[in-house]
Amino acid sequence: MNSLIIDLNKMADEYQLPRADSVRPDGVVMMRNEPVWDSEALRRAVAEVKARAAAAQYDRVEVQAHCPNWVTAALNYAAAPAVGYAQIGPNGMYKLDMNAFPFGEIDPSLNTRFEVREEGDLVYVTLVPIGNADAGAHGFDLTRFDEICVPAIPAGKRVLLAGEMVNPIAVCMALAYAPEAKAVYLRFHQNPYYYCCISSDPEIPLGDMIAAE
């Protein structure tokens, strides 16, 4: 299998991105000394990945190193039709192919539900853990990753995705809404902004930000 490997640490060093600790609002340090991605760096990275993907026939794309989910989603989409692949969890125990989630009603036994809210041309879709939160990464049993489905929403909207979820879930959610959305945005944990990771509207650039409520 021919894989496109995207080393984000190497890319960040080439772009001379600053580094800082990733700290939640409650003061918990999530990651130390990681690159600080911004809208300009995202657009540069997407252009680079598109060029690399066009230069060869890749079956799989693997984005390596921790980063905000909107960066991961944008780069996976840029490498299409290569299928995203991720190894996460202790010792990479979860090996996941990242395809668009289907639409439908999610099984309650997955301990997850979606909240959907419409405001004009904005549709907020938030993943909310329910029941037993001690079921693996971010409260979700990743052995059931392929069972996730997402709620259908009206086409032609800006879709804002959020929730405490690992990046592969965020990527597959973004891919699900990409074909009919005007643009797809992701919020990384409690970041104060949603960032545009996929856009079909020339007036909405990648990296466009919408303040979270």
- Whole-model pTM? 0.92
- Res 138: pLDDT: 59
- Res 172: pLDDT: 97
Q: Radius of gyration over alpha carbons of the chain, in Å?
A: 16
- Res 135: pLDDT: 47
- Res 31: pLDDT: 76
- Measure Cα distances from 10 to 13, 172, 185 in Å: 5, 25, 25
For 93-108, b/e burial (b = at least 16 CB within 10 A) is ebebebeebeeeebee
pLDDT tens track for 102-130: 999 999 888 889 999 999 999 999 998 87
| CA–CA separation, 95 and 27 (whole Å) | 31
pLDDT beneath 70: ranges in the chain: 24-25, 131-139
